[in-house]
Structures are given as structure tokens and as C-alpha cells.
Amino acid sequence: MNQRLARLREKIAEAKLDALIVTRPENLYYMSGFGGGEYLDATMIVSAAHAWISTDSRYYEEVKQTAPDFKLFQAGYDRNKVLGKLGKSKPAPKRVGFEAAHLTAATLATWNEHARKAGFKLKPTAGIVEELRIVKEPAELEKMKRAVAIADAAFAHFCRALKPGMTERQGAWIIEKYMRENGADNVAFELIVAAGPNGALPHMRPTDRVIQRGEPIVVDIGARVDHYHSDLTRTIVLGEPDAQFDQVYNTVLAAQSAAERQIRAGVHGKRADRFARDVIQATEWGKTFGHGLGHGVGLAVHEGPRASKLSKDTYRENMTLTVEPGIYLPGWGGVRIEDLVVIKKDGVEILSQASKDPIRALISRKPSCMRARFVLE
């Protein structure tokens, strides 16, 4: 029996709904095993009596092969036809939920017209399937650990390849190529290699800027393995850094360490954020940590739970979380250090094993981010 489907039906009943329309690709995959692609054209409908996937001919065979607990609705070019079928089903639904965060206004207008003709009302919902996804099963964690290991290895590979004259874009490609050639289905997101002043922009895309000696380089990367993601950030230096780097770096590292020591099941997301933020706010850079401490990772790179000033989450065992404090100084650069962890009853399991020691001098043969300091040859 599909335990996920049974749990979803319980959630639907708790929300006082007769059925739920699922359109977010990650949720479709989680519930059925079908799809998972960002641009998937499919609609899932789950009620107490029915479980349908409506899609077009491109996916008929895939649904049959990957989603045995669901009935295929061959929609042709009009996936909305399944709403009429839902209206005629027994027992006839009156209140049907939809994923409000994953539906355009235009589609909703069309659906409302179909629902009116079918005799039911559409009700916006938030996070019903995501609430099931937020605690990871052992098989999910194993896939994520494989993705983490690939990212760790790709980071070490990048450190060995890093040299003066390399651009940010070239560095990002070295990492992506390594991941794809060593077990990743894809990168988890557009990789970040941001050197010097570009590192002050937390989500800066790689450019043709040449990486200079002595400046901080923020490297934010992740791999995808069998639909599951990893997320890793390290900050390194090619050559000797300026006097400010050590102070900034050590502050960020201390903030991350404080959070990782204290986060555990039962902690609230707002409090987790404070563990790291208090360390940074005690310094002259207290106002430079503008984003939240972290987020969950799984089928999506950014999912629940959250660690931020606004988080309302309470952590449970086997939730995943990034712990990624940062300091960003316009005109100079930034430092961010990020681990992916699994929350446990008595602490966290840190999955990310890439070294947190930045490169401190250039060597000509085999530079490696697995060592704290190097001797210039």
C-alpha cells in the first residue's frame, strides 16, 4: 500500500476537503514516483476514492511505469477535462483544494469555470503535501548523502584546478562538469562562484570577472541525485588574504558552529537563526547578515523547514536544514559557510564534509581545499 497516499488522504480530510488537485512537480513525484521535472505538464487529483494523474501523450507510458497506485487520465491537449470527470465521480465532491502557491491567475480562472460546471468549489491550500515531505525517510536521506558527497568532491576538484587568470564562469563550469561526470543527474541550481566584490551579493551569478589573488571567493554549489539535492557553500582565497579576511571568516565560522551545536529537534526556526545571528551582531558587522540562517533541502533546493527571523517552524527528527551564516561587505566581498545537516533528537548530523579551511597560499602542483595552509612553491 502507498503509505504516502494514505497519509495525504488523512491530510485532505483534516482540511475538510473532498479532494486535492496537485500540480507542483516535486509533490507529484513525491506522491506517485512520476515526473519530478520542473516543466512537467501533469495534474494529480486525490480523493478518498480516487487517485488520478492527468497528462498528455508525451507521458502516458511513463505514468503507467512509474505510478502504479494512480489511474492515468489521458487528457490529450486539455488536462482540464479531468475536472469534469472529478465532478461526476462518486461521491460527488463539493470542496476541492488546489495548491495556491503553484497556480497562475489565468489557470485558476479557467479552473473556476470548469468547477462551476462540475458542481464543486475550489479552495486554496498551502503546504499539504509539503508537510508530508518535510520529514525525510531513510531512502531519501541516502540519496541526499550521495548528492552531498558529489558536491564535496567537486569542491575539492575545483580547489585543485583553481589558478590565477581563471574567471568565475570557468570555475563554475569546472565544478558542474565534474559533478555530471561523477554521478550527478544535474546541478541543484545555477552554481555560484563569486570573487572579490561580487561575493558581497549572496546570489551573484558567475561572470567573466578574473579571479584575483588574495580576494575572498564564495563558492555555493549543489548536486542533484535521483531527484534529491545538496547545498554547500565554502569561502576560499587564492593566495594570501588581506588583514580583514581572517576576522570576517572566523566570525562567520563561529556563528555557524554556535548554531550547529545548539540546533536539535524541538528547537524553533526563529531561535535557530538567533544562535548564529547573535554571534555576528556582537561584532562591527552585525547588520551585514541580511538573509535567514537556512532552509530545508530535498526534492526542492529550498523547502521547509526554515531558520530565519520569521520562521514559525518547530524542528522534528530527520528534517534537513542548511546552516549558512554570512557577512557581506560591498566593495570588498563576502564570506558564507554552509553545511547541510539532518536534525536529530540530541543535535544535528552534519552531512557536508568539505573542508572549512580556506586556501592560504598558492602552490603550483596540487592545491587542495582539504588542507588548512599551503606552502608557496
pLDDT value, residue 197 = 98
How do beta strands 303-307 and 320-323 pair? unpaired
One-letter amino acid for residue 89 of the chain: S
pLDDT value, residue 40 = 77
- CATH second-level architecture of 138-350? Alpha-Beta Complex (3.90)
Q: What is the mean pLDDT of residues 139-151?
A: 98
CA 77 to CA 320: how far, in whole Å? 39
Express as a percent the part of the chain with pLDDT over 70.
94
φ, ψ at 78 (rounded to 5°) = -130, 90
Q: What is the dihedral of CA 162, 325, 281, 306, to 10 degrees?
A: 160
User: Out of 192-201, 238-247, 254-263, which region has the weakest mean confidence (pLDDT)?
Assistant: 238-247
Question: Are the C-beta atoms of residues 63 and 72 closer than 8 Å to each other?
Answer: yes
| CATH classification number, 3-133, choose in 3.40.50.1860, 3.40.50.300, 3.90.1150.10, 3.40.350.10 | 3.40.350.10
pLDDT value, residue 149 = 98
Taking only the tens place, the pLDDT of each residue in 356-374 is 988 755 544 344 564 332 2
Ranges in the chain annotated CATH 3.40.350.10: 3-133
pLDDT value, residue 289 = 97
Tell me if the pTM is above 0.85.
yes
pLDDT value, residue 369 = 60
pLDDT value, residue 139 = 97
291-317 per-residue burial string, b: 16 or more CB within 10 A, e: under 16: bbbbbbbbbbbebbbbbbeebebebee
- Mean of the per-residue pLDDT values for the chain? 93
Q: CA-CA distances (angstroms) from residue 33 to 36, 162, 359? A: 8, 40, 43
Q: What is the mean pLDDT of residues 37-49?
A: 86
Of the two residues 139 and 81, the one the predictor is more confident about is 139
How do beta strands 121-125 and 186-187 pair? unpaired
Taking only the tens place, the pLDDT of each residue in 164-208 is 899 999 999 999 999 999 999 999 999 999 999 999 999 999 999
Q: CA-CA distances (angstroms) from residue 225 to 5, 23, 291, 375? A: 24, 22, 27, 36
Ranges in the chain annotated CATH 3.90.230.10: 138-350
Q: Look up residue 180 and give its three cell numbers.
A: 555530471
pLDDT value, residue 374 = 27
pLDDT band at 346 (very low <50, low <70, confident <90, very high): very high
Question: Are the C-beta atoms of residues 53 and 61 closer than 8 Å to each other?
Answer: no
**C-alpha atoms less than 13 angstroms from C-alpha of 234 in its C-beta half-sphere:** 21
pLDDT band at 133 (very low <50, low <70, confident <90, very high): very high
Burial of 46 (0-12, 13-18, 19+ CB in 10 A): buried
